[in-house]
Amino acid sequence: MSTADTCDCAHIDSDTKARLAGVLQAMGLFISDAIRRLMLCTADQLRLPFAVKAPDAASRSAMADLEAGRSSRLDSAESLRWPQNWRNHRNPETEVLLCVSQSC
Architecture label for domain 10-66: Orthogonal Bundle (1.10)
Higher pLDDT among residues 51 and 101, named by residue: 51
Tens digits of residue pLDDT in 49-95: 888 888 888 888 888 888 888 877 767 776 666 555 444 444 454 44
Report whether 60 contacts 49 (CB < 8 A): no
Q: Where are the domains of the chain?
A: 10-66
CA quadruple 39, 41, 44, 45: dihedral sign? negative
pLDDT in tens, 60-69: 888 888 888 8
